[in-house]
Amino acid sequence: MPEHSSSRSSGFDRRAFMAGAAGSALVPMTARAAAQDARPVTAQDPSLPVDVTLRVNGKDKRLSLDARTTVLDALREHLKLTGSKKGCDHGQCGACTVLIGDRRVVSCLTLALAAEGQEITTIEGLATDDHLHPMQQAFIDNDAFQCGYCTPGQIMSAIACVKEGHAGSDADIREYISGNICRCAAYPNIVAAIKQAAPEIMKG
Amino acid sequence: MRPFSYQRVTDPDMAVQVLSAAAAANNPLTKAAAQPLAGGTTLIDLMKLDVMRPAAIVDINPLSEGWSAVDPGGESLRLGALAKMSDVAAHDEIQRNYPVVANSLKLAASAQLRNMATLGGNVMQRTRCSYFRDVSYENCNKRNPGSGCAAMDGVNRMHAVLGTSDQCIATYPGDFAQALIALDASIEITGRSGTRSMPFAELHKAPGNTPEIETTLQPGELISAFVIPGRWPRSVYLKARDRQSYEFALSSAAVALDVQDGTISDARVALGGVATVPWRAREAEALLKGQRFDDALAQRAADAAFADARGRQHNGFKIALGKRVVARALQQAVTMEI
């Protein structure tokens, strides 16, 4: 088995596959495994940046990151995609919500290295040409914000809420959007926006 | 956040090897140099707060291929430890045959966090004690053994009234664990000498004189699955909290009943939000078994569940609240249509 606990002296090559003791490290690529980068990665020198490719809004982005970098910081500080907002930075407010695969997650608690190989969708990836996403349009139509700081997270979370099938009633929407805090308390209008956009999103 | 090395493992043996190599013999596992990363919703948060300081992160998510299966088909329910909270909460058969399990997961955290967090990580989550989470307080016996407890005479409204010691009153914050302990779940643990099984009730350790030691897991061991025997369609998870959604429990109850011809033939009661560890209320269960249900019986069971409870300056209300939660959960379980 190759050295993997530390490569402090030689730097590291995180592209190097571990030889996979007796082949047991090979993971069959089912639908679930395919959604995630299942290659082993060897430990690296914490003081050195790590090369990583993130797939953001349909494009591969090659980055060299400190291992501590979250998806949120990679988006905002390295890719200049500042739509996703840093509110609490502890997974409590939802302002940083993005989609990874088809799941809404808080990007502030997701390590960028752990998101390699997965499809990341941010607020910047929603509109096509001159057309806003139905949820973006619905937020405008319903005046579903005041200061707007939580809005990108609200919209990403709202889209997932609809696609999960959790937008059937006002009560359902309130329960399943509760991970997105709005300091301006635009909640009634946010619920109205989600109800407006839901049929169009479900129609595809 | 302090620097760390990141490593991704694709087979359990590798994970166990790396984690056990980094665990010092006399240290609590939560202070081991290498920590496993699953959903990350506790670990990354506590690293940002400087409460957890691993030198190495071992990303075990690729193990989900083998460790995330959900099998509700047989005489027992088997849940892979890397299954996501949201997937298990939304599972039709679990909602039907184990509503206490589905609802304990659905009522926890937010949709985003449930999409990230795994079942194994969920039961291993650390306390939300505000003094534990704030390193500017030196005196936390859980973080700094022997340093004292700032919560004891501090702002302790959220703290435990059961299972406490004079060293620690930090509440076990989870919900799912109450369903597991009520239903006599066992856990499968993967470690250096293969896989072993253990009652879930033996996983968590009450604080006693060593609040820094939170579980009985050994170095390198990972929870790989949960097994719940039997089926419990007549079961309820009731959670009282400061907000209607997205908040930890002030008091919660996991209740499962088997009622035959109007008589309670089996009863399970567990309490959340009020104890230092997942808490089975066996005294309440004993009162219920063999009886016909009425409100007076529910009240006696609730009183029994909290007979040993001790409040401090700000959390005494949890005793009265907790009894009402238990009584109402029992009423809901008895009257639910299955």
Q: Encode pLDDT of B294-311 as tens digits.
A: 999 999 999 999 999 999
The pLDDT of residue A97 is 99
Q: Are A70 and A111 within 8 A, CB to CB?
A: yes
Q: Chain A: residue nearest B5 by CA?
A: A46
- A27, pLDDT greater than 60: no
Element (H, E) at B207: none
Top-level class of domain B235-335: alpha beta
Query: Rounded mean pLDDT of A158-163?
Result: 98
Query: Rounded mean pLDDT of B152-174?
Result: 98
**Cα–Cα distance measured from residue A104 to residue B239, given in angstroms and rounded to the nearest whole number:** 25
- A21, pLDDT greater than 90: no
Of A24, A33, A67, the CB nearest to B65: A33
Of A47, A90, A161, the CB nearest to B111: A161
Q: Which residues of A touch B90 (CB under 8 A)?
A: 164
- Could you tell me the two tokens for B3? 């620097």
Residue B69: which of A30, A119, A114 has the closest Cα?
A: A30
Q: Which residues of B touch A72 (CB under 8 A)?
A: none
- B257, pLDDT greater than 60: yes
Q: Are B292 and B262 within 8 A, CB to CB?
A: yes
In which band, very low, low, confident or very high, does the pLDDT at A36 lie, cut at 50, 70 and 90? low
Residues 94-133 of A with CB under 8 A from B: 94, 97, 103-106, 109-111, 113-114
Q: Chain A: residue nearest B39 by CA?
A: A110
**Cα–Cα distance measured from residue B165 to residue A194, given in angstroms and rounded to the nearest whole number:** 48
In which band, very low, low, confident or very high, does the pLDDT at A44 lie, cut at 50, 70 and 90? confident
Q: Which residues of A touch B55 (CB under 8 A)?
A: 46
> Mutate which of B8, B41, B114 to test chain A, going by most A C-beta atoms within 10 A?
B8
In which band, very low, low, confident or very high, does the pLDDT at B23 lie, cut at 50, 70 and 90? confident
Please state, for a pLDDT cut of 70, what percent of chain A lies above it.
81
Domain ranges of chain B: 5-60, 235-335
Of A39, A43, A175, the CB nearest to B5: A43
- Could you tell me the two tokens for B266? 């089996």
In which band, very low, low, confident or very high, does the pLDDT at B15 lie, cut at 50, 70 and 90? very high
Query: Closest approach of chain A CAs to the CA of B12, in angstroms?
Result: 9
**Helix, strand or coil for residue A189?**
helix
**Helix, strand or coil for residue B31?**
helix
In which band, very low, low, confident or very high, does the pLDDT at A9 lie, cut at 50, 70 and 90? very low
Interfacial residues of B (vs A; Cβ cutoff 8 Å): 1, 3-11, 13-14, 18, 21, 37, 40-41, 44-45, 48-49, 55-57, 59, 61-62, 64-65, 68, 86, 90, 109-113, 115-116, 243, 245-246
For chain B, the average pLDDT equals 97
For chain A, the average pLDDT equals 86
**Exposed (0-12), middle (13-18) or buried (19+): which is B269, by Cβ within 10 Å?**
buried
pTM of the predicted model, to two decimals? 0.92
**Cα–Cα distance measured from residue A173 to residue A190, given in angstroms and rounded to the nearest whole number:** 9
**Cα–Cα distance measured from residue B302 to residue B242, given in angstroms and rounded to the nearest whole number:** 21
Q: Which residues of B touch A174 (CB under 8 A)?
A: 245
Q: Who's near B117: CB < 8 A, 6+ residues apart?
A: B38, B39, B41, B42, B84, B85, B109
The pLDDT of residue B256 is 98
Residue B258: which of B278, B283, B229 has the closest Cα?
A: B229
Q: Which residues of B touch A49 (CB under 8 A)?
A: none
What is the residue type of B209? Answer: N
Q: Who's near A166: CB < 8 A, 6+ residues apart?
A: A172, A173, A175, A176, B111
In which band, very low, low, confident or very high, does the pLDDT at B24 lie, cut at 50, 70 and 90? confident
**Cα–Cα distance measured from residue B220 to residue B195, given in angstroms and rounded to the nearest whole number:** 12
Query: What's the Cα-to-Cα distance from A145 to each of A63, A86, A142, A186, B129, rounded to whole Å?
Result: 33, 17, 9, 5, 33
- B141, pLDDT greater than 50: yes
In which band, very low, low, confident or very high, does the pLDDT at B263 lie, cut at 50, 70 and 90? very high
Q: Chain B: residue nearest A181 by CA?
A: B246
What is the residue type of A9? Answer: S
Q: Which residues of B touch A177 (CB under 8 A)?
A: 111
Element (H, E) at B200: none
**Cα–Cα distance measured from residue A137 to residue A131, given in angstroms and rounded to the nearest whole number:** 9
The pLDDT of residue A115 is 98
- Give residue B319's Cα distance to chain centre: 20
**Cα–Cα distance measured from residue A107 to residue A90, given in angstroms and rounded to the nearest whole number:** 10
Query: Rounded mean pLDDT of A162-183?
Result: 98
- Could you tell me the two tokens for A128? 């096509």
**Helix, strand or coil for residue A112?**
coil
Residue by residue, DSSP assigns B70-107 as: EE-SSSEEEEETTSBHHHHHT-HHHHHH-HHHHHHHHT
In which band, very low, low, confident or very high, does the pLDDT at A41 lie, cut at 50, 70 and 90? confident
The pLDDT of residue B7 is 96
Of B4, B18, B243, the CB nearest to A5: B18
Asked if A8 has any chain B CB less than 8 Å from its own CB, the reply is no
ipTM of the complex: 0.96
pLDDT digits (tens, 9 = 90+) for B87-112: 999 999 999 999 999 999 999 999 99
**Cα–Cα distance measured from residue B95 to residue B336, given in angstroms and rounded to the nearest whole number:** 13
pLDDT digits (tens, 9 = 90+) for A49-101: 999 999 999 999 999 999 999 999 999 999 999 999 999 999 999 999 999 99
Judged by CB atoms closer than 8 Å, whether chains meet at B6 and A21 is answered as no
Q: How many CB pairs under 8 A join A and B?
A: 146
Judged by CB atoms closer than 8 Å, whether chains meet at A113 and B62 is answered as no
pLDDT digits (tens, 9 = 90+) for B209-221: 999 999 999 999 9
- Could you tell me the two tokens for B314? 């700000």
The pLDDT of residue A126 is 98
Element (H, E) at B155: none
Query: Closest approach of chain A CAs to the CA of B37, in angstroms?
Result: 9
**Exposed (0-12), middle (13-18) or buried (19+): which is B165, by Cβ within 10 Å?**
middle
Q: Chain A: residue nearest B90 by CA?
A: A164
Q: Are B221 and B81 within 8 A, CB to CB?
A: no
Judged by CB atoms closer than 8 Å, whether chains meet at B57 and A42 is answered as no
The pLDDT of residue B26 is 64
- Residues found in chain A: 204
| The CATH number fitting domain B5-60, selected from 1.10.3470, 3.30.43, 3.40.30, 3.30.200 | 3.30.43
**Cα–Cα distance measured from residue B322 to residue B308, given in angstroms and rounded to the nearest whole number:** 13
In which band, very low, low, confident or very high, does the pLDDT at A37 lie, cut at 50, 70 and 90? low
In which band, very low, low, confident or very high, does the pLDDT at B245 lie, cut at 50, 70 and 90? very high
Contacts by B93-98, CB closer than 8 A, 24 or more apart: B94/B70, B96/B233, B97/B72, B97/B231, B97/B232, B97/B233, B98/B72, B98/B179, B98/B183, B98/B228, B98/B231, B98/B232, B98/B233, B98/B235
Start-to-end Cα distance in chain B: 49
The pLDDT of residue B111 is 98
Residues 10-69 of A with CB under 8 A from B: 18, 20-21, 24-28, 30, 32-33, 36-47, 50, 66-68
| Segment among B20-29, B90-99, B192-201 with least mean pLDDT | B20-29
